Chain A
Amino acid sequence: MNKHLISAADLSKDDALLILDTAEELGKVSERSIKKLPTLRGRTVVNLFFEDSTRTRISFEAAAKRLSADVINFSAKGSSVSKGESLKDTALTLEAMGADAVVIRHSASGAPYRLATWVRGSVVNAGDGTHEHPTQALLDAFSMRRRLGSLEGRRVTIVGDVLHSRVARSNVLLLNTLGAEVTLVAPPTLLPVAVDTWPCQVSYDLDAVLPKSDVVMMLRVQKERMNAAYFPSEREYSRRYGLDRDRFARMPEEAIVMHPGPMNRGMEIAAEVADSPRSTIVEQVANGVTIRMAVLYLLLGGEI
């Protein structure tokens, strides 16, 4: 494994499977009454969050604590960052505190790469701008594998705002590494111009792809995209690309529905679909902690 986890492309197939298998083992800890392992005792993990994301931060915090690491939460709001301190100075401060790993969430694509040039510890990308979110992809793969078994040859359809989605980028890379066949579905305005160079299929027609899907992953549509003329209206988007009851009924019987959250119920996904037994949305959250334990364990534990 690389020292850092910044892009899903950093992971070989063996690396990815090792993380998933390790997560299976560590998952058993979460089922115990005392949910704690001594593995990372004395190590320091910093959660450096420049963007509000309580869900992801709590998930990383729980993961580090279950491995007995010391956790420092550093959020940009109300900190020196909001007073104009640069990312570099923040990094040097963390370095002086002796962070063994820095988990970073930042609105700028590529910020974790910059951070990695200024700190000695491992950098874990918890979402950078519209670039990547590799632990989300890992927890998605983990959730799929638990429901469907091996991902080899599985057909995964990712629907929505691919252009601005770090989840989609990481998932395409990781699922391709794991042998799944990915199809992206979106209006042409929400696909990057060179998406044909990505290791996946692309379609504008959700109804054509649905019957051939083992997994349908819906992406969140940000309201502000509408004002920038990416699509005419919420209703039109929902009609053409939303997963409603009728479309859900046309999916293969064993196929599952995923969403990285937070959802716009009634927009990209109907409430009944989100709450159906074939939806993994709640499991995804639980699996997030397990996967992040595995990532921290493998990045930091190897040195013990």
Chain B
Amino acid sequence: MLIRNVRILGGDPVDILVRDGIIAEIGTGLESAGQAVDGGGAIALPGLVDLHTHLREPGREDAETVLSGTQAAARGGYTAVHAMANTSPVADTAGVVEQVWRLGREYGHCDVQPVGAVTVGLEGRQLAELGAMADSAARVRVFSDDGRCVDDAVLMRRALEYVKAFDGVVAQHAQEPRLTQGAQMNEGVVSGRLGLAGWPAVAEEAIIARDCLLAAHVGSRLHVCHVSTAGSVEIIRWAKSKGWNVTAEVTPHHLLLTDELVEESPVGAYNPIYKVNPPLRTHEDVAALREALADGTIDAVATDHAPHPVEDKETEWSAAAMGMIGLETALSVVQEAMVDTGLLDWAGVAERMSLAPARIGRLPGHGQPLQVGAPANITLYDPDHRAEVDPSGFASKSRNTPYTGMTLPGRVVATFLRGRPTVLEGKLV
């Protein structure tokens, strides 16, 4: 496979020759007897890696399946996704994680790396068999009760300690449950006006602070899911300044959208398309998150792709499901929020959306710089394209995107998984 005329991290045009799924040669004027693809001057990035995807299978195949979710991932430029554990049954045993992992391999659109539940049934009472999941064919390294917080301090401490035995990491959904009982949206000016129960920033920040201290105390690795507030950024910055082993992710939507959309938007007030956990926050939070992603306080962008069927969103606000899909718009949103604002260059995008997430997830074969000898996981991206987001063409089974009708930059032209195209000219192969 020869990929002609691409600009690695936005540099000068080169050709990339792939042999046996490995980058064999990079240079100009390369020739090959096999298949050739014209990159048309697109930017080449190492295949994107998502630390936080909800594939919904098993259990909610009406919202998404491993097949449709990995197709969406490929269309978004991803070559690997971490599948969250809050399925039905919960991914808390070796059996369930192996099933999800195997489905990903069979379909072949994108590698699926299952995340294991921290506690049995996400119930927060008893540790799941973390070791069995780590030793399974799925080789689980990231453990999370995402959707729920491991709020019991002792259980969190034990989980952090236990996963050290196999270089695992606990990815915490930071949400103090008592402070967020019945919470509907960010607690602030807008929630007060709208009469929606507030979701205070402190409910996230208090857990992050506690977990940073716990991780330092037991000398383990902590990953903080979907950081959403300026205060959380300050705490993580402080923990990193101490040299503690703390990493963090931010979602594309928290880099672009604010809670004001709940009150006023093109789709009407109280439209649950904007209902998400953690909630959309304020302009000040968005600015702090962008800055933190730029300076490395936040290590990675993770989509928190959360598909829901139409009927779970076409309701009154409080009855609606929380979550947004994001795989097929992530790179465009990051370009809009980070690149076009001058906060991040393409090397920075590669680091935050491929290298760092693969490192945090201990994912061999992904997140390596595009150089000779590296696996040929490659995303080709045209940053000059501009179009209105039209979810009718999405591969995801769900349509709960907040970006419908918005004009966003960029388009994934092609995705290669170990040299094999999964997307060409923007279409699934």
Interface residues of chain A, those whose CB is within 8 Å of chain B, are 86-88, 106, 108-111, 113-114, 116-117, 128-132, 164, 166, 169, 192-195, 197-198
Q: Given A109-B270, A114-B270, check contact A86 B192 (CB 8 Å).
A: no
Q: Is the CB of A87 within 8 A of B315?
A: yes
Q: Is the CB of A108 within 8 A of B319?
A: yes
Q: Given A114-B270, A117-B268, check contact A106 B316 (CB 8 Å).
A: yes
B132 lies within 8 A of chain A by Cβ = no
Q: Is the CB of B193 within 8 A of A169?
A: yes
B36 lies within 8 A of chain A by Cβ = no
Q: Is the CB of A109 within 8 A of B311?
A: no
With contacts A111-B316, A169-B195 known, what are 19 further pairs, Cβ within 8 A?
A86-B314, A108-B317, A109-B195, A110-B196, A110-B270, A110-B317, A111-B270, A113-B268, A113-B269, A128-B195, A131-B195, A131-B196, A164-B195, A192-B191, A193-B187, A193-B192, A194-B188, A197-B189, A198-B193
B194 lies within 8 A of chain A by Cβ = yes
The 9 tightest CB contacts between A and B, nearest first, are: A110-B270, A192-B192, A131-B195, A130-B195, A108-B316, A194-B189, A109-B195, A111-B316, A113-B269
Q: Is the CB of B194 within 8 A of A110?
A: yes
Distance to closest chain B CB from A106 (angstroms)? 7
Distance to closest chain A CB from B177 (angstroms)? 14
Distance to closest chain A CB from B34 (angstroms)? 53
Chain A: CB-nearest residue to B269: A113
Q: Is the CB of B188 within 8 A of A114?
A: no
How many angstroms from the CA of A110 to the CA of B268 in the assembled complex? 10
Give the residues in chain A near B315, CB-CB below 8 Å: 86-88, 114
Distance to closest chain A CB from B260 (angstroms)? 13
25 A-B pairs within 8 Å (CB atoms) are namely: A87-B319, A88-B314, A108-B317, A108-B318, A109-B195, A109-B270, A109-B317, A109-B318, A110-B194, A110-B316, A113-B270, A114-B270, A129-B195, A131-B194, A131-B195, A166-B195, A169-B193, A192-B192, A192-B198, A193-B192, A193-B200, A194-B191, A194-B192, A197-B189, A198-B193
Q: Is the CB of A129 within 8 A of B318?
A: yes
How many A-B residue pairs have C-beta atoms within 8 angstroms? Tell me.
74
Give the residues in chain A near B314, CB-CB below 8 Å: 86, 88
How many angstroms from the CA of A87 to the CA of B319 in the assembled complex? 10
Instruction: From B314, B316, B317, B319, name the one whose CB has the most chain A CB atoms within 10 angstroms.
Output: B316
**What is the number of residues of chain B that contact chain A, defined by CB distance less than 8 Å?**
24
How many angstroms from the CA of A111 to the CA of B315 in the assembled complex? 8
Distance to closest chain A CB from B183 (angstroms)? 13
Within B29-55, the residues touching A (CB, 8 Å) are none
Give the residues in chain B near A193, CB-CB below 8 Å: 187-188, 191-192, 198, 200
Within B329-377, the residues touching A (CB, 8 Å) are none
How many angstroms from the CA of A145 to the CA of B191 in the assembled complex? 31
Distance to closest chain B CB from A50 (angstroms)? 9
Give the residues in chain A near B191, CB-CB below 8 Å: 192-194
How many angstroms from the CA of A194 to the CA of B188 in the assembled complex? 6
How many angstroms from the CA of A194 to the CA of B315 in the assembled complex? 27
Distance to closest chain A CB from B389 (angstroms)? 20
Distance to closest chain B CB from A125 (angstroms)? 11
How many angstroms from the CA of A164 to the CA of B184 in the assembled complex? 14
Give the residues in chain A near B318, CB-CB below 8 Å: 108-109, 129
Chain B: CB-nearest residue to A191: B192
